[in-house]
Amino acid sequence: MANREELLIIRAARAGKAPAQLALGKRYLFGGGGLPQSHSTALHWLQKAAENNQPDAWLLIGANVPFDVAHQVKDPLRVAFWYERAFDGGIAKAGLVLAMLVFSCWTRAEPSLKQKALRALQAAAEAGLPDAQWLLAQQLGIRETARQTKPHDATASEGNQLNAAVEWATRAAKGGVIEAQYVLADSAWESGDYLKFLLWALPLAQDIERRASGLTIRRQPCNKLETELLSRCAQALLMTSDPNSRLIEHYLRVAAEGGQSRAQLAYGLWIARMDENGLRLSNVTGVAHYKKAIRWLTIAAEQGEEKASFALSRVFLKPEFSRRSVAEARRYLEMAASGGHMRSQLEMGLIAWRQRRIDPRTDIRAVYWLLKAAAQGNEEAQKLLHKIVPPIRKADWANVAKRAFTREMMSQYPFLAARVELGYWFGLTRAEALLIDVQEADHGHCLEIDIREQHPRSRRRLILILTSEQRQAVDYAARVFDTVDGSPIGAEGNYRQRIYRFRSLMSARREHNRNRA
């Protein structure tokens, strides 16, 4: 509760007396007596005192009222005027707040004020204020330029700006600005400078580890950014000549407990002492604990981490693992392949291809997985796919027939027209086109051409469905034959009847063309 002296100051301040307004602003600024500390209330009275030509008022504003308070007023640019005066009065901290206020209202600020704000920010940074140094680095584009791994490609002016941004960010990081330390650590990681990364990241990792392990007053779980940092620290330490296994495992465990699937994957791989390809870590000693690794890898796999599923497939194939199971390994391998893991897709294709001796139709499944792996650029999958399914060649008979078919003929002979269309787009022989059962041949990613029952001299083969035109031709044929029996006892008759109908139609068409000529 305000005492008698403070009540007199309040009355005088409300009456418009400048010294009282200044005195009341000081009381609220620093607290004590019967008045609580309140920066927002202090700013209100100090601003009134400044408007009444009290120099100490704007000096107090510039030195003690932070940006968060000044930014809450109705017109921040009006308050910025007092920070400008305080900066001119030699208070470097006021230059930082001035710049922040102008940047927050950049579109409304006058050009002269913008220039003054930039000069004030530069001066505050040179005065050694870490927050000003970091803000200046951001203005110079540190977030964009720090990730450039090839600065020599930039022009001279861009290179100077890059160097200046990195220099100010470095000063800010050394001054304790956490955000600057993260950006510099990320820059070093992207450029592959792992020793420099550890220089910035290890202090951050130690602080994260203390908070996450409950060594501080209040235990806090790791967020995504912190989890990523801990994982990267572990990977960087692993690349050193003498990796600290205990520290690596500790960081990975803390990161994994944060709940991020990538961290859980990394921790599971570390416990299993293997890399993402399932190979043994060459520079790490110690025994692999597969049962413990399975727990963390399973948690990561359940969150959709396909690399964890692939790692599980490798663990279950380890000959020294007491729970070795080929069936479990195959299940996790297929799970990883379904999630988009390229190596798993290739292996699923190879497994299916080797099983064709037991079941010849497994080549359809082999092509399915190899297609997915090849789409991600796997050269081995592309070579094997080329061997299993060679590129098609256009069928001359189908080219001639397609040109000969008129709209009237297509309407009169829809089945034959659909078969000619398939022969044209898939390079089918005439016998294949006339005998193919579209419903049974279509497997989504390929056509299975097998007419050996009606045409013994033919051979079974697969043809990929690669283009939209091919897909449309198959879908059109499927619609045409949807309600019709396409077998030899169906409406089209046997092969002899079909070939006779086709030849007769083509002969009639050629005769018609000669008569017109």
Q: State the virtual CA torsion across 391, 394, 395, 399 in degrees, nearest 10.
A: 160
Q: Report the 10 Å Cβ neighbour count for 90.
A: 11
Produce one character per residue of 269-278: b if its CB has 16 or more CB atoms within 10 Å, e if not.
bbbbbbeeeb
Question: 464 pLDDT exceeds 70?
Answer: yes
Query: Which H/E stretch holds residue 464?
Result: strand 461-464
Reading the block at residue 113, the tokens are 């004020």
**Per the structure block, which two tokens stand in for 266?**
């990394």
Closest CA to 416 of 467, 335, 491, 468: 491
DSSP assignment string, 237-272 = HHTSSS--HHHHHHHHHHHHHTT-HHHHHHHHHHHH
CA dihedral 300, 303, 306, 308 (to 10 degrees): 10
Which residue, among 280, 304, 301, 287, has the nearest Cα to 313 in the 3D structure? 301
CB atoms within 10 A of CB 482: 9
Determine contact, residues 226/206, Cβ cutoff 8 Å: no
What is the share, in percent, of the chain residues with pLDDT greater than 70? 94
Is residue 488 pLDDT above 90, yes or no? no
Query: From CA 47, how far away is CA 58, in angstroms rounded?
Result: 7
- Helix orientation angle between 194-212 and 224-238, rounded to the nearest 10 degrees: 130
Spatial CA neighbour of 202 closest among 171, 244, 162: 244
Crossing angle between the packed helical segments 245-257 and 261-272, to the nearest 10 degrees: 150
Least confident of 65-69, 214-218, 277-281, 320-324: 214-218
CA distance 276 to 107: 50
Coil/strand/helix, residue 175: coil
- Mean pLDDT score, 69-86: 89
Closest CA to 472 of 432, 442, 427: 442
157-to-122, 134, 145, 164, 505 alpha-carbon distances in Å: 18, 20, 13, 11, 76
Q: Give the integer Cα–Cα distance in Å for 283 and 239.
A: 9
Q: Indicate the pairing of strand 446-449 with strand 461-464.
A: antiparallel
pLDDT score at 497: 92
Torsions phi, psi of 168, nearest 5? -70, -35
pLDDT of residue 154: 52
Per-residue pLDDT of 398-423, as tens digits, reads: 999 999 988 888 899 999 999 999 99
How many Å apart are CA 17 and CA 15, to the nearest integer? 6
Asked if residue 148 has pLDDT above 70, the reply is no
Q: Can you give the pLDDT at residue 498?
A: 92
Q: In this prediction, what percent of the chain has a pLDDT beyond 90?
A: 57
Average pLDDT over residues 32-51: 87
The residue assigned the tokens 């019709």 is 484
Instruction: State both tokens at 87.
Output: 């900066």
> Cα separation of 114 and 98, whole Å?
10
Determine the Cα–Cα distance for residues 104 and 20; give it in Å rounded to an integer.
32
pLDDT at site 217: 42
Residues forming beta bridges with residue 361, ordered by sequence position: none
Residue 283 confidence class, pLDDT cut points 50, 70, 90? confident
Which runs of consecutive H residues, i.e. helices, occur in 74-177?
76-88, 92-104, 111-126, 130-139, 142-145, 156-174
Query: Of all helices (H) and strands (E), which one includes residue 463?
Result: strand 461-464
* DSSP annotation of 66: -
Residues in the chain: 517
Q: How much is the pLDDT for 4? A: 75
Residue 197, SS3 per DSSP? helix
Q: Is residue 458 within 8 Å of residue 510, measured between CB atoms?
A: no
Strand boundaries in 126-170, DSSP class E: none
pLDDT (0 to 100) of residue 504: 92
At 216 the pLDDT is: 45
Q: Is 367 exposed, middle or buried (0-12, 13-18, 19+ CB in 10 A)?
A: buried
Instruction: Give residue 254's pLDDT.
Output: 87
Q: Which long-range contacts (CB under 8 A, 24 or more apart) does 251-254 make?
A: 251/205, 251/209, 254/208, 254/209, 254/212, 254/213, 254/222, 254/230
Residues forming beta bridges with residue 274, ordered by sequence position? 280
Query: Band of the pLDDT at 173, cuts 50, 70, 90?
Result: very high
pTM: 0.73
